[in-house]
Amino acid sequence: MNKKWLILFAPLGIALFMWLGGYIVQHLWNWLGPGLFGLRLITFWQALGLLVLCRILFGGLGMHGGRGGHRGWRRRMEERCENMSPEEREKFRQKMRERWGFGAAPGESPER
């Protein structure tokens, strides 16, 4: 797509997305909140503010770190394990078992 069209339609798309999100949040809140929890009705701008607040608190504003964020944790963990010696790997596994309560490894007697 031509950059000229992208520059023209990107702000429009963002505005439409924000309007739709605010509209959906407002109507869901006003439909469910008062009946279920006794909450007051909210305006469109309050709904948009709620949407932004939830994004900040739960979405992290898209800042997930430079190395893949929370999605790349498995790849990073595999890289770390590949670089460990067999003794280090076994020590790591034992610590994970102790921490998460999996008990002794198969063939081992519990230390407790």
**CA 77 to the chain's CA centroid:** 19
pLDDT at 9 over 70: yes
pTM: 0.51
At 25-79, the pLDDT tens digits run: 999 999 999 999 999 999 999 999 999 999 888 886 655 555 555 667 788 888 8
Lowest mean pLDDT among 7-16, 20-29, 72-81: 72-81
Give the span between the Cα atoms of 66 and 58, in whole angstroms. Answer: 19
Quote the crossing angle between the two packed helices 3-37 and 44-54, to the nearest 10°: 100
Residue 32, CA distances (Å) to 18, 44, 45, 58 in order: 21, 15, 18, 21
Which of the pair, 91 or 110, is modelled with greater confidence?
A: 91
Question: Given a cut of 90, is residue 2 above it in pLDDT?
Answer: no
